[in-house]
Amino acid sequence: MTPYVETSDSAGLENIWAWLAELPDPEVPVVSVVDLGMIRDVEISDGAVRVSVAPTYSGCPATDVIEQNIVSCLRDKGIADVTIRRVLSPPWTTDWISEAGREKLRAYGIAPPIGSAGKRSLLGALPKIACPCCASSNTEQVSEFGSTACKASYKCRDCLEPFEYFKCI
């Protein structure tokens, strides 16, 4: 493997962001850690790379795996000196999911978060969640928790398909 060499930090940053944009989330592999807004910053200094990562929530069981995958990805690209900085403040929010990430979730069959993660939306009535299969809003929540704590289980009353909704956090 050719060692990672860049003529400028900006060219190196572009490459690193592009590589991380291809790194899938282990729980929802159709979206990348960049799509989810988990990568908060990338810094290059004297050939060393530091990636700031915001876990989706403090108890997320995939956090260590994601951080290990980031290090492995960059080392596979020839960057020997990679460190991870775990960022807990400000806490990650579903507001940071990119529009492309939201579309990827929908295409995969997971309804993306509706609205924002602001306190008012968290305390209000349940939003109308559109079915990712048929786009109907005639849906109902089956369980507040889905396959992971960040998702809820729903079913569509029109097409009868079950689906998950990525909750606003």
8: which DSSP letter?
S
Q: Of 82, 84, 79, 73, which is closest to residue 19 (Cα–Cα)?
A: 73
Say what the pLDDT of residue 148 is.
82
pLDDT tens for each residue of 99-148 = 999 999 999 999 999 876 555 555 556 678 999 999 999 999 999 988 88
Q: Are 68 and 76 within 8 A, CB to CB? A: no
pLDDT tens for each residue of 4-53 = 545 456 668 999 999 999 999 999 999 999 999 999 999 999 889 999 99
Domain ranges (residues) in the chain: 9-86, 97-166
pLDDT tens for each residue of 75-89 = 999 999 999 999 999
| Cβ neighbours of residue 62 closer than 8 Å, sequence gap 6 or more | 25, 26, 27, 56
Specify the CATH architecture of the domain 9-86.
2-Layer Sandwich (3.30)
